[in-house]
Amino acid sequence: MPFYSPLNPTLFFPSKPFFKLTKTLTFSTLQSTNMSASQDSMNATSQNTPINLQNYPIPLSPPLNPLSKEMEQARAMSASSRSSLFALSKSDVLYQDQWLIAVNKPQGVYCETVLDSVPQVLDYLVESSGLDEGPVARPELHLANRLDRDTSGVMVITKLHKVASKLVKAFTDHKVRKTYIALCIGSAPKWEKITIKSGHGRSKFGAFRVYAASDVGRSLPGGSTVKDMETSFEVLSINGQGSFREPSEFNSDKNILVVEEKAVIDTDAKKDEILVRAFPRSGRTHQIRLHCQYLGISIRGDVKYEGVCEWKRRTYDGHELHAESLSLEHPVTGQPLMFRAPLPVWATQMV
């Protein structure tokens, strides 16, 4: 006997006879069913056609490579496993007085690991000086600046709370000048010097991305906003051809790139080894790495931002970025200071 369904007004001929009606359909049941079907339809539509209700700005740098997440996790685990064995040596100390100490952080070590090892090296410095200073209060150590795990170079650590607060203000007010050295892989740039200005923020997936300069101030998923980001670059050598120059004041009035659209990168073009010096004008997370990626010269080993991890039959376990120098006024005496960290081997081989 044919069966008529009010949900689907067509005749249905069951293969077996119906002996029992298991559920009585009421108006409320039909209404609930129809609403559920409507909701499912809306969900399917939202999955297939994203609706940007908040009108969030669109990031201009590529999303993270899924494989980079696995490699980053492996590198993080490796660094964590070595943390208990790490110790600063006397040769790592670039400067120290009663208020602060500057050290040369190695690649592949977390800032917190370096901070934990400072008391030991301070004790060694006192013992090796041969001076009997009697009981000395333990310093109130604070990180004045932070470097990514795989970034080497100058780290400043304060010994007193009041000194730490002064240095934090100096960094916030952009009164600290920094230079970095990076070894990049990509097509040799046509510029010798360039300044790039863009936006910076976290995308809806939590990754840091480059945004248009005109998007600065706009809201992002999670409640943050797009911040301004500015970096100047100068080329030091290409494929080992060039000369190393001492860091000097960078004139950013010429050759300025204001980011407003996605970069067009020729992925099939010849790849070169490019040694650059970077002058960050702002202090955004992963700033130099992001701007190198946008310029098409990602840092070697920086898998997070499209850098090659294999190059000329060698595998690289971290990105090649070095905090070369840091200049500031002493937070107590007011005297000008400049800390310089020796160049790593990968940098000296390129000049």
Instruction: Identify whether 148 is a catalytic site residue.
Output: yes
Provide the 8-state DSSP code for 303: G
| 84-123: b (≥16 Cβ within 10 Å) or e | eeeebeeebbbebeebbbbbbbbbbbbbebbbbbbeebbe
DSSP secondary structure letters along 162-214:
HHHHHHHHHHHTT--EEEEEEEEEESPPS-SEEEEEEEEEE-TTS-EEEE-GG
Are 275 and 213 in contact by the 8 Å Cβ rule? The answer is no
How many CA within 13 A on the CB side of residue 171?
15
Catalytic member of 148, 150, 215, 302: 148
List, as one string, the DSSP characters of 30-49: HHHHHHHHHHHHHHHHHHHS
- Which residue, among 196, 227, 198, 194, has the nearest Cα to 212 in the 3D structure? 198
Maximum pairwise Cα distance, the chain: 106
CA distances from 305 to 102, 125, 261 (A): 29, 40, 18
Query: With contact defined as beta carbons under 8 Å apart, do 322 and 182 qualify?
Result: yes
Residues annotated as catalytic are: 148
